[in-house]
Structure formats: structure tokens, C-alpha cells
């Protein structure tokens, strides 16, 4: 049922009809079976009011829609998106109307190419969103767009395809949207953090914790919205997740609506402080010299990486079955010819940025080669040229 509703939402986007807000176009009334005579009778009886030519309202109409139609247009843009219940940031208190009475609309909100005249009192979502790209700040529009994408479960490309030709900056804004965003505050935080060049993962699945809103390195960011997280169930759930996050050695930042919308500078300062400290903390997961702690057990590796996704990989020669030779000369030609040729067959890991042959030469130990290589190594070690590692 839910699937059916969400997959067809974009096709059902025809605007909000008079039955919802009490303001009807003549075409809507006719579609309801009212002819000109019946409409005249209803107007005379006070059951319908003429708002402007071709538009009528019932006594219980919505004032904002009524005012927009009276002004020669329909309710659109930010105001329409608000009516549809999509997430909206604070700061857009005025009514947004798309004036369609005259061919040249020099006031009110508009799209980027000529849009059809309003047939119902509140514009369809796609038209409202196109207009809003002119009226809203970029990050706000991206957050609203995320809300539409997530609610409708459609891709940015599909939504964009329903609009006419768009200027490049709006196409770029579409490129910053994310259908997976779960709240407007999460969207705003993501857009701002990426603008600051943080590497942000959206809705990552964390082993100990479950799904979180955002992740930067080891920092899990939960973007609480005012409406949610206030129930007793959420209260308990949040605290359980925080505890589990500590077990997994994650850092949880629980940001409130006010943190994100009104205290952002301080939030960024704190994230910077944590990530700066993290950079100084890059160490191997096992201590140098205690190779016995290295592992190829997937569960253990998974655990370490969950604890710190930034851990690199070290190949434990010997234990892994690999062997490596450390060449301590700049040119392989200084070695006996057959040894030089043998080393050329290995995986070359330069220790001098590739400007010389000085490097680690890594081989898989297939058994028989081992003996040959080991004896070669003994020979080379005696000359202090090549060292067998591991
Ligand atoms: Zn507007």
C-alpha cells in the first residue's frame, strides 16, 4: 500500500484542489457537475463567493489560498511546499504566490521557463519547488528538495526531469541533494559540512549502533529535529545507542535543531577540534614489533575497522604467506644479474617515490621459490644489499 502511494506520488502531483482549501476554479466546479446556472444560484445564496473572474470560494476557505487567488495567482513556492508538509527551515514567513492572471507576471514567484497557468488554488509540488529555487537560500532549497525526494522515493534526476530547462546553478543544487536524508536538519548539516570539505557519509550502518544520520571519520552525528526524539521511547533508544557507540569507540555528536540552525559556528569548531585531535592519533591497531597480533580473521578485521574506519592495511610478511625483499641500492644493476631479474618479477613498492629501484619487492610464497629466494637472500645479505623481511 505504502509502496503504491510513494511510487505514484510524482504522477499524482497536480496541485491541491478546492476540496482541500475551499477555493475552486470554474473548471473544478464544472468537473464536480455544477453548471453555470447552479454556480449562479450558489453565489446568490452565499454558498459560493466570487474571488476573481473564474474563481470561487466556499465560506470555509483557507485565507492564504484565497488571498493568492484574489491577487491574480495561486499559492505556490515556499507556501505551497509548507502546505504539503515538506520540511521547511525557519525564515520564510511571507506568502509566496505565482501570479498568472496576466501573461507577463512581473510580481510574485516564477520558474525558469514559462509555466502553465494555475488550474487549482495551490501549485503542484514540482512547480512550487522550481519557483522556490529562486526564493530560497541554496542550502534551504536542497533540504526541502531532500524532503520531497525522500517522501516520494524518487531520484533527483526524475524530479529534475519534470521541470523545464533549468539554469546551471539549479542543476548543481540538484547534484547536492540526497534522497536518503531523513530530516531537514540532517540535510542542512550535510550540505554545510561538505562545503567545508569534510568527508560526510549519509545514513551509514554502524555495527554497534545501527543506522545513524551522518558520519565523519569516527564521529557519528545524530541530527535531532524538534518534533522527534521527545518521546519516552526515543529518550531510552538514544541513550542505548550512545552507550553502544562508546563500546564501538565512536564519538557521538547529538545535534539539536537549534544547534544546527542557530548555533552552527560552535558545532563546526567542535567537529574541527575532534578531527584535528584524530589526525594526531593515527597509530597502528597493533603495536609495532608485536606482529603476533596481526590477523586475517575477517571478524577481527571488521571489528577494528568499525572502531576506526581510517585504519590502513599492513601486510604481515611471513604470516600472510608473502615474502618481501628490501633493496638497499638505488639501481638493481648493482646486483648479480639473476637476482636482479628475479626481483623484477615481484610487486614493487617504492620507498623513494619511484625515482630509483630502492624498494620493497613482494612475492607470494608458493613453496618451491621460497628456498631459492631464501638462499639468494642469504647470499645478498652477506653483501648487505638485500634484506629478507618478515
Ligand atoms: Zn517564492
Distance of CA 178 from the midpoint of ligand 1 (Å): 23
Residue 263 confidence (pLDDT):
95
**From the CA of 18, how far away is ligand 1's center (Å)?**
21
Whether residue 313 contacts residue 372, with contact meaning beta carbons closer than 8 Å, is answered with: no
Q: How far is the CA of 189 from the centre of ligand 1 (A)?
A: 23
The answer to whether 51 and 70 have CB atoms below 8 angstroms apart is yes
At residue 2, the pLDDT reads 44
Q: What's the rounded Cα separation, in Å, for the pair 374 and 350?
A: 21
Report CA(91)–ligand 1 centroid distance (Å): 12
Q: What is the pLDDT of residue 374?
A: 59
Q: Work out the average pLDDT over 112-141.
A: 95
Query: 137 C-alpha vs ligand 1 centroid, how far in Å?
Result: 11
Q: How confident is the model at residue 326 (pLDDT cuts 50, 70, 90)?
A: confident
Percent of the chain scoring above 70 in pLDDT: 82
More confident residue, 210 or 336: 210
Q: What is the pLDDT of residue 104?
A: 56
Ligand 1 centroid, distance to 25 Cα (angstroms): 22
Report, as an integer, the average pLDDT of 322-331. 77
pLDDT at 236: 87
Band (340; pLDDT cuts 50, 70, 90): confident
43 CA from centroid of ligand 1 (Å): 32
Residue 358 or 41, more confident: 41
pLDDT tens-digit map of 352-384: 545 567 777 877 776 555 555 555 555 555 555
pLDDT score for 228: 54
Residue 227 Cα, ligand 1 centroid: separation in angstroms?
25
Contact predicate 52/70, CB 8 Å: yes
Residue 390 has pLDDT above 50, yes or no: no
d(CA 150, CA 153): 5
pLDDT of residue 251: 94
Confidence of residue 42 (pLDDT cuts 50, 70, 90): very high
In the predicted model, what is the mean pLDDT of the chain? Answer: 85
- Distance of CA 24 from the midpoint of ligand 1 (Å): 22
Give distance in angstroms: CA of 97 to centre of ligand 1.
7
Whether 371 contacts 378, CB under 8 Å: no
**Which pLDDT tens digit goes with each residue over 197-250?**
999 999 999 998 999 999 999 999 999 876 555 677 788 888 899 999 999 999
Of all residues in the chain, the percent with pLDDT exceeding 90 is: 59
* Distance from Cα 77 to the centre of ligand 1, integer Å: 5
Please give the distance, rounded to the nearest whole angstrom, from the Cα atom of residue 171 to the centre of ligand 1. 18
- The pairing of beta strand 214-216 with beta strand 322-327: unpaired
* Strand duo 214-216 + 219-223: pairing: antiparallel
Ligand 1 centroid–CA 76 distance in Å is 7
DSSP type of residue 108: B
Indicate if the alpha-carbon torsion angle 186, 188, 191, 193 is positive or negative.
Answer: negative
Q: Calculate how far, in angstroms, residue 132's C-alpha sits from the geometric centre of ligand 1.
A: 5
This prediction's pTM: 0.70
Ligand 1 mean position, distance from CA 129 (Å):
9
**What is d(CA 129, CA 79) in angstroms, rounded to the nearest whole number?**
10
Kindly state the average pLDDT of the residues 139-167.
96
Predicted local distance difference test score (pLDDT) of residue 30: 96
pLDDT of residue 5: 47
Residue 136 Cα to ligand 1 midpoint, Å, equals: 7
How far away, in angstroms, is 88 Cα from ligand 1 center? 13
Q: What is the CA(98)–ligand 1 centre distance, in A? A: 8
Element holding 267 (H helix, E strand): helix 264-279
SS3 (DSSP) at 301: helix
Q: Is the model's pLDDT at 192 over the cut of 70? A: yes
The answer to whether residues 105 and 47 touch, using CB atoms and an 8 Å cutoff, is no
The predicted model gives 47-72 an average pLDDT of 96
* Nine-digit cell string for 59: 465560506
| pLDDT bucket at 117, cuts 50 / 70 / 90 | confident
**Nearest C-alpha neighbor of 343 from the set 372, 317, 321:** 372
pLDDT, tens digit (0-9, with 9 covering 90-100), for 60-86: 999 999 999 999 999 999 999 999 999
Q: pLDDT category, 310, cuts 50, 70, 90?
A: low
80 CA from centroid of ligand 1 (Å) = 9
State residue 316 phi and psi, 5-degree precision: -85, 100
Tell how far the Cα of 258 is from the centroid of ligand 1, in angstroms: 25
Reading the block at residue 276, the C-alpha cell is 584535528
β-pair partners for 386? 327
Q: How much is the average pLDDT of 326-346?
A: 77
Mean pLDDT of 120-124: 97
Q: Give the number of residues written for the chain.
A: 390
Please, which residues bridge with residue 205 across strands?
A: 211
The C-alpha cell at 133 is 529555487
Interval between CA 108 and ligand 1 midpoint (Å): 7
CA distances from 206 to 150, 198, 200 (A): 21, 19, 14
Amino acid at each position: 500500500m505504502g509502496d503504491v502511494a510513494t511510487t505514484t506520488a510524482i504522477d499524482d502531483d497536480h496541485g491541491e484542489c478546492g476540496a482541500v482549501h475551499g477555493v475552486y476554479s470554474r473548471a473544478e466546479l464544472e468537473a464536480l457537475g455544477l453548471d453555470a446556472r447552479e454556480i449562479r444560484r450558489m453565489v446568490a445564496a452565499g454558498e459560493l463567493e466570487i474571488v476573481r473572474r473564474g474563481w470561487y470560494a466556499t465560506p470555509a476557505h483557507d485565507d492564504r489560498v484565497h488571498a493568492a487567488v484574489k491577487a491574480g495567482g495561486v499559492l505556490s513556492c515556499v507556501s505551497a511546499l509548507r502546505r504539503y508538509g515538506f520540511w521547511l527551515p525557519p525564515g520564510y514567513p511571507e506568502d509566496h504566490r505565482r501570479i498568472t492572471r496576466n501573461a507577463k507576471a512581473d510580481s510574485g514567484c516564477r520558474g525558469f521557463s514559462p509555466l502553465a497557468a494555475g488550474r487549482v488554488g495551490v501549485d503542484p509540488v514540482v512547480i512550487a519547488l522550481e519557483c522556490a529555487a529562486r526564493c530560497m537560500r541554496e542550502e534551504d532549497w536542497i533540504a526541502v528538495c531532500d524532503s520531497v525526494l525522500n517522501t516520494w522515493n524518487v531520484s533527483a534526476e526524475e524530479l529534475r526531469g519534470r521541470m523545464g530547462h533549468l539554469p546551471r546553478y539549479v542543476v548543481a543544487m540538484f547534484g547536492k541533494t540526497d534522497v536518503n536524508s531523513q530530516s531537514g536538519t540532517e540535510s542542512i548539516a550535510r550540505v554545510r559540512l561538505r562545503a567545508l570539505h569534510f568527508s560526510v557519509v549519509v545514513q551509514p550502518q554502524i555495527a554497534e549502533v545501527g543506522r545513524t544520520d551522518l558520519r565523519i571519520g569516527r564521529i557519528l552525528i545524530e541530527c535531532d529535529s524538534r518534533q522527534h526524539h521527545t518521546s519516552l521511547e526515543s529518550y531510552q533508544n538514544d541513550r542505548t545507542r550512545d552507550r553502544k557507540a562508546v563500546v564501538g569507540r565512536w564519538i557521538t555528536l547529538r545535534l539539536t535543531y537549534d544547534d544546527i540552525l542557530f548555533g552552527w559556528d560552535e558545532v563546526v569548531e567542535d567537529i574541527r577540534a575532534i578531527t584535528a585531535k584524530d589526525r594526531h592519533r593515527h597509530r597502528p591497531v597493533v603495536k609495532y614489533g608485536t606482529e603476533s597480533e596481526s590477523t586475517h580473521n575477517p571478524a577481527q578485521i571488521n571489528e577494528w575497522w568499525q572502531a576506526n574506519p581510517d585504519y590502513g592495511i599492513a601486510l604481515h610478511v611471513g604470516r600472510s604467506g608473502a615474502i618481501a625483499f628490501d633493496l638497499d641500492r638505488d639501481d638493481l644493476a648493482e646486483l648479480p644479474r639473476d637476482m636482479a631479474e628475479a626481483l623484477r618479477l615481484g610487486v614493487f613498492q617504492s620507498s623513494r617515490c619511484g625515482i630509483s629501484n630502492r624498494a620493497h619487492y613482494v612475492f607470494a610464497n608458493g613453496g618451491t621459490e621460497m628456498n631459492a629466494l631464501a638462499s639468494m637472500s642469504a647470499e645478498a645479505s652477506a653483501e648487505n644489499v638485500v634484506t629478507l623481511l618478515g
